[in-house]
A and B are shown apart, each in its own frame.
Chain A
Amino acid sequence: MAVGERIRHVDWARRTAGDIAFSADVRLEGMLHARFLRSPHPHARVTRLDVSAAARATGVAAVVTAADLPDRRYVHHGGPLSDRRVAARGVVRFVGEEVAAVAAETREQAEAALRLIRVDYEPLPGVLSVDDALAEGAPLVHEARPGNVAFQFKRQYGVPPVDGAVAVTKRARFRFGRQAHACMEPGSTVARWDAGRGKLEVWTSTQAPYFIRKEMAHVLDLSMDDVEVHEIGVGGGFGAKSKISDHEVLTAALAMRARRPVKGVLDRDEEFSTTKCRHAFDIDLESSADAEGRLLHRTARIRVDNGAYNHSGPSVMGYGAMLLGSQYRLDGVGIDAQLVYTNHHPGGQFRGYGGPQVIFALESQVDELADGLGIDPIDLRIRNANRAGDTTLAGWRIVSSALVECLERVREAIDWDAKRARGGSGRGVGVAVAVHVSGARVYEGAERSEAGVDVGLDGRVRVRFGGADAGTWQRTMLAQVAATELGVGVDAVDTVMMETAETPTDLGAWSSRGTYMSGHAVGRAARAAADALRELAAGKFDCRPEDVELAGGAAVVDGRRVAIGDLVGLSDRQVDGELRVEEAFVTTDADPFDPVSGIANLSATYSFAAQAVEVEVDRATGKVRVLDVVAAHDSGIALNPISVESQIIGGVTMGLGAALGEEMVYAEGRHANPAYLDYALPRAADVPPIRPILVEHADPNGPYGAKGIGEICLIPTAAAVANAVAHAVGVRVRDLPITPDKVLAGLIANEGRRRHRARVWRRPDRWWIAAVRWGYPRGLHRLLHTHGTRLARRRTAPPVAELRRPTDAAEAATALAADRSARPLGGGTDLLPARRQGVADGRVLVDLTSVVGMNAVAESAGGDLCIGGAVTLADLARRPELAGDEALLDTIGSIASQQIREMATVGGNLCQQKRCWFYRSGFDCYKRGGVTCPCYAVTGDHRFYHAAIGAHRCQAVTPSDLATTFTALDASLAVRGPGGTRTVPMEEFFSGPGETVLGRGELVEEVVVAAAARRRATVLEKLRLWEGDFAVASVCVSADLADGVVRDCRIVLGAMAPTPYRARPAEDLLRGRRLTGQLAERAARACVEEGHPLPGNAWKLEAARGMVARCLGRLAEAT
């Protein structure tokens, strides 16, 4: 039986060989390329939109704006909740909102044409936070929505609170910020208008072809039958692709207008900043329990940042509220919920659908109740767990629940009892649980799923299903179901999905409905086909149909067998040599959502999970490391354990991302971190080997006993981490993600440590800076942002016209000096992205990697290490000469990825530009736009990547990690210019953040590390948010120690100041003294004495202090 077995993905061979086509891989005759013009303002009136010049531009075939489209809103949730049109019509409401679209022969031509579109904006006051939006007299995002409230309700489940039995009450505010889906495949669509047939053909990265057809037909004034979706690979969804996005419709509109196929592929910035994201929730939560640990009542006040449009906001918030009324048995739940419009890009569907946000608050507070009651957190959860037969306060009928068993399994697997006894040790364990639907009836038609099963004369089986598999292995599961019912091998089953002309209707893969709905639908269709085959076999063998067994591709009765393909030949129902069956499954076990009472049995069954996490917290830096995760899941019978386990592991990883790093950062309504580089989602080394545990009991309603798995796996994770951190160090973080700054702040508060105070009054050189910073929130920022940026200079890199490959350094310097538009090119790992980001230009690139000698590494007779400027980081690390230079090797190993290290050069690493996310992400900032522009870091999010020492108007830091270590090693640079070579000490190389003293025509020919410095003991500590990240703070200490006495030393802090910062007072303190623990602490404190932090990054001084102390401790230990 194929169901329940560990079976490889049916497409595994093609999928792992790169042979599966995704939308961007589609090539059609005459295909054009689309680009989209987006609003630069969070809120503005469009007073003029003139596309005539763009329409005439070279290669342009079509331009579309709202004026070219029917004036209709997307259906979305329908009725008054529908609030978004295709492309902005008169008003833009978020940065990135689509204003126009262009299709041209090439992507570059389309891009160039966008710059010819004249748009006059009249900026309107915007609301950039929920508090702003709810303030008295706040500007309105939508004129028809007073108070900026998109949707709200007050609701009481069960009974109101009664004081009598209450033993413990906990109350706190919890915050879950915006998280990006960050699918690996960016939104991609190809559309073709077949004028002859009047059909719009679409290949698009979607989880739900049904909604593509429904919405496209509606907004483009077509019938649903006129929109045909074709089968194509889908590179991850997580909810992002469960409903339509604007770029999909605009690509189709361009194709209809141009009468040619059009491809629209989002770039990574657009994917991050303009598609939907997880809604940010603020939850004021109060929970109570009696002395025996019975949960009594909870009260929640929920405020949700909807962004500028509704999308699924109302149902996300509504579902979250139902969860509050469903997780655990309790007496009552009071909810006051508001969905609030802001001028941020809209939230939307995201795996978990309000669950992660609500459960983070709820499950964190359960632990606080357990603390208050002195009851073990697992025991408390077991005491209140939902059990089969329960109906929750929100009306969910629990037909199966192994939640208690899940809790027992994680207790055992993580060695809970032993580890729980060691609280406060820096290591801790935490647990959290979740319940989730298996397909919710939140849409009309969601209770229905249809499927087709065909059997051919050749005995092959075809499953036809209208949903899309964005990576869930649904396709494989459907083949398993058909194979099981028809008695054939999975390899005899073909599956057609998405192809709407061939498949019956299904609403798609969302709400964890894939397994439940399609498992039933295909099961029904396959059983109907099997019944037909049994009838045919019974006719042939003259027996009863129920005596016929289907196995091995044949019908078998009493040792007689006939191939099922041959039976098809006997059927008078065969069509084109196939026996075709279509069936519908309609669940009767779930009720439609009732928006008035909020009480409904939303799903036919519910999945449960318990996850336990072990963490280690670095008390010096606040960094949390996850050591272990065990995730026990009751999703019924796993129809394919490979894919169920993979879902769990992947979901937990996404949950760990939300718990520890992922957060979308905004300033002035613009998204500041639309890059994997600035978005701390987990890389392989950031997460432990997560251990899934399948707690399999057949669910009475689920297909083959199965329940949903896709979403629940990430829902409890963040709370489990927060609970583990609280257990490890006694710091309760209620505002995700749990980044080092928050943990360290908690540790400092708990331990009564004195925080760093910048005594600016003693330092006249800082008075001016302090005054400017004082002025920023008091009007200066507003002035510069509103008026100064009008004078901002903006750069667009011209195409590369020439690539020069000089073979000698003098020739390279001359080439660079001779041409104003010449730029040096090392590995290109910074220059090429920087050109796209508008912070680098140049028509001529001078390739330094071809210069003979600059690729060399040599050791002089005296032991000096000479490193050519064009040596790649990877080559350098492989050189035998470096075997003893451990700090240098550690530094290289901490930089980016092996792929980048194979390309990036030593000179390029030193010369790379600042990484400040405002600078890189299109903000008209001081460094990018000029002196009239503000530094967005002063009032923006500067917690990680900005200076805490010595910054001036720009708060960025020099990002090079090599620079930190080279400075500690007294390295010197041989700088080649058109007039010859000069030597620049590393310490004097930087003139500002990511800015060097190199003049025109100059390049770094060689870096020399003297033998004397190499003989010193050198150690590196680097704090970063993810494996390969730039330093948040780093410390390199190089010391000459003899008999425990410091003869000489260098202490350099990286990412703390505009340039690598040498802590001379600390060095002086150490020199000539015995390195004791006490002296190390004094020296570490001295390192940060000159700190002048911004409000949000003072913690970095404390972290750096701890890292210096650790470095000195390591040195003392080593000698």
Chain B
Amino acid sequence: MLIEIQVNGSAHPLDVDPGERLLDTLRDRLGLTGTKEACGRGECGACTVLIDGRPVVSCLVLTARTRGAVETVEGVADEALQLRAAFADLGGFQCGFCTPGQIVRGVGLLREGLPPGEEALRRAMSGNICRCTGYVGIIGALRRAEEARA
């Protein structure tokens, strides 16, 4: 299928199979390997990207029906500089494999304003599994980045 998708501000005309996953398109065709595959079934959030600002798991998105602007970690990294630095300052990552997905999800939340309260924020971040850090650094980094934005 001949289609065109918008990724990180650029248009990419592509000839894709109808069953092709956005995750594979990003990684294999566009070389955007910051988006990681950890489960391939939408269970862990490692492959989270934004489409029109909304978080989705790219392992369950068919490229052929992707409409809207796709943003990957490569696309939001600059905007997320303070968030990323806060991850580093607070121990919000260890191995770093889930981190791109956490950052992308975090950027989406920061744009709309973090939900108030510890529990609400933790629930909002629960689609992104981290097996290393125990989440304290991630949640703390989001709050710190929000303060920095204010």
Residues in A lying within 8 Å of B, measured CB to CB? 6, 8-9, 11-13, 15-22, 24-25, 181-186, 233-238, 267-268, 470-473, 642-643, 645-647, 649-654, 675-677, 681-687, 689-690, 799-803, 805, 827-829, 832-833, 836, 845, 847, 849-850, 874, 893, 896-900, 902-903, 1027-1028
Cβ < 8 Å to A, chain B residues 45-101: 45-46, 48, 54-57, 60-62, 64-65, 72-74, 77, 80, 84-85, 87-100
Chain A residue with the shortest CB-CB distance to B21: A832
| CB–CB A16/B84 < 8 A | yes
Known: A684-B125, A836-B40. 18 other contacts (CB 8 A): A16-B99, A233-B97, A235-B97, A268-B41, A646-B94, A646-B133, A650-B132, A681-B131, A800-B19, A803-B62, A828-B60, A828-B62, A832-B42, A832-B60, A898-B124, A903-B42, A903-B57, A1027-B126
Name 25 A/B residue pairs within 8 A (Cβ), A-sorted: A13-B84, A15-B99, A16-B84, A16-B99, A17-B73, A20-B96, A22-B36, A22-B97, A24-B36, A184-B36, A184-B46, A184-B95, A184-B98, A236-B132, A646-B136, A649-B135, A650-B131, A650-B133, A650-B134, A689-B139, A800-B19, A802-B18, A832-B41, A897-B45, A898-B124
The 6 closest A-B pairs by CB, nearest first: A18-B34, A897-B127, A646-B91, A471-B95, A800-B19, A235-B97
Shortest CB-to-CB span from A685 to chain B, Å, is 4
Q: Contacting B65 at CB < 8 Å: which of A689, A803, A829, A874? A: A803
Shortest CB-to-CB span from A733 to chain B, Å, is 23
A849 contacts across to B, CB distance below 8 A: 65
B7 contacts across to A, CB distance below 8 A: none
A472 contacts across to B, CB distance below 8 A: 94
Chain B residue with the shortest CB-CB distance to A1028: B126
Shortest CB-to-CB span from B56 to chain A, Å, is 5
Shortest CB-to-CB span from A998 to chain B, Å, is 22
| CB–CB B74/A17 < 8 A | yes
Q: Contacting A1027 at CB < 8 Å: which of B57, B103, B123? A: B123
Cα–Cα distance between A987 and B37 once the two chains are bound (Å):
39
| CB–CB A683/B38 < 8 A | no
A829 contacts across to B, CB distance below 8 A: 42, 60
A896 contacts across to B, CB distance below 8 A: 42, 127
| CB–CB A18/B134 < 8 A | no
Shortest CB-to-CB span from A549 to chain B, Å, is 30
Cα–Cα distance between A186 and B88 once the two chains are bound (Å):
24
| CB–CB A16/B97 < 8 A | no
Q: Does B129 contact A (CB under 8 A)?
A: yes
Shortest CB-to-CB span from B78 to chain A, Å, is 9
Given known contacts A649-B133, A681-B129, A235 and B95 CB-to-CB distance under 8 angstroms: yes
| CB–CB B65/A185 < 8 A | no
| CB–CB B73/A902 < 8 A | no
Given known contacts A676-B43, A676-B129, A236 and B97 CB-to-CB distance under 8 angstroms: yes
B73 contacts across to A, CB distance below 8 A: 17-18
Shortest CB-to-CB span from A943 to chain B, Å, is 21
Cα–Cα distance between A236 and B96 once the two chains are bound (Å):
8
| CB–CB A19/B65 < 8 A | no
Chain B residue with the shortest CB-CB distance to A803: B18
Cα–Cα distance between A689 and B56 once the two chains are bound (Å):
26
Chain B: interface secondary structure? loop
| CB–CB A653/B88 < 8 A | no
Chain B residue with the shortest CB-CB distance to A827: B60
| CB–CB B119/A268 < 8 A | no
Cα–Cα distance between A188 and B126 once the two chains are bound (Å):
26
| CB–CB A685/B122 < 8 A | yes
Q: Contacting A238 at CB < 8 Å: which of B100, B131, B133? A: B131
Chain A residue with the shortest CB-CB distance to B39: A268
B103 contacts across to A, CB distance below 8 A: 16-18
Q: Contacting B36 at CB < 8 Å: which of A185, A650, A799? A: A185
| CB–CB A899/B74 < 8 A | no
A845 contacts across to B, CB distance below 8 A: 18-19, 62
A850 contacts across to B, CB distance below 8 A: 65
| CB–CB B134/A687 < 8 A | yes
In this complex, how many residues of chain B approach chain A with their Cβ under 8 Å: the count is: 73
Given known contacts A12-B88, A799-B17, A900 and B57 CB-to-CB distance under 8 angstroms: yes
| CB–CB A649/B134 < 8 A | yes
| CB–CB A653/B127 < 8 A | no
Chain B residue with the shortest CB-CB distance to A679: B43
A685 contacts across to B, CB distance below 8 A: 119, 122-123, 125-126
Question: Most chain-A Cβ atoms within 10 A of its Cβ — which of B84, B90, B129, B131?
Answer: B131
Question: Most chain-B Cβ atoms within 10 A of its Cβ — which of A6, A676, A827?
Answer: A676
B38 contacts across to A, CB distance below 8 A: 184-186, 235, 268
B74 contacts across to A, CB distance below 8 A: 17-18
| CB–CB A12/B40 < 8 A | no
Q: Does B5 contact A (CB under 8 A)?
A: no
A682 contacts across to B, CB distance below 8 A: 134-135
B40 contacts across to A, CB distance below 8 A: 267-268, 836
Chain A residue with the shortest CB-CB distance to B96: A15
B33 contacts across to A, CB distance below 8 A: 18, 21, 24-25
Q: Contacting B100 at CB < 8 Å: which of A18, A646, A801? A: A18
Q: Contacting A643 at CB < 8 Å: which of B41, B91, B119, B130? A: B91
Chain B residue with the shortest CB-CB distance to A805: B65
| CB–CB B136/A8 < 8 A | no
Cα–Cα distance between A897 and B62 once the two chains are bound (Å):
19
B99 contacts across to A, CB distance below 8 A: 15-16, 18
| CB–CB B85/A8 < 8 A | yes
Chain B residue with the shortest CB-CB distance to A236: B95
Cα–Cα distance between A829 and B60 once the two chains are bound (Å):
6
Cα–Cα distance between A236 and B131 once the two chains are bound (Å):
8
| CB–CB B138/A684 < 8 A | yes
A803 contacts across to B, CB distance below 8 A: 1, 18-19, 62, 64-65
Given known contacts A799-B17, A1027-B123, A903 and B56 CB-to-CB distance under 8 angstroms: yes
Question: Most chain-B Cβ atoms within 10 A of its Cβ — which of A6, A17, A182, A183?
Answer: A17
| CB–CB B17/A800 < 8 A | yes
| CB–CB A653/B56 < 8 A | no
Cα–Cα distance between A833 and B131 once the two chains are bound (Å):
22
B61 contacts across to A, CB distance below 8 A: 828, 903
B137 contacts across to A, CB distance below 8 A: 646, 649
Given known contacts A19-B34, A652-B134, A233 and B96 CB-to-CB distance under 8 angstroms: yes
Cα–Cα distance between A897 and B127 once the two chains are bound (Å):
5
Chain A residue with the shortest CB-CB distance to B77: A17
| CB–CB B91/A684 < 8 A | no
Chain A residue with the shortest CB-CB distance to B34: A18
B122 contacts across to A, CB distance below 8 A: 684-685, 1027
Given known contacts A16-B88, A900-B57, A184 and B34 CB-to-CB distance under 8 angstroms: no
Chain B residue with the shortest CB-CB distance to A850: B65
Cα–Cα distance between A893 and B120 once the two chains are bound (Å):
11
Chain A residue with the shortest CB-CB distance to B95: A471
Cα–Cα distance between A832 and B39 once the two chains are bound (Å):
13
Given known contacts A684-B138, A684-B139, A685-B123, A16 and B55 CB-to-CB distance under 8 angstroms: no
Cα–Cα distance between A833 and B54 once the two chains are bound (Å):
21
B77 contacts across to A, CB distance below 8 A: 16-18
| CB–CB A184/B130 < 8 A | yes
Shortest CB-to-CB span from A720 to chain B, Å, is 15
B55 contacts across to A, CB distance below 8 A: 898-899, 902
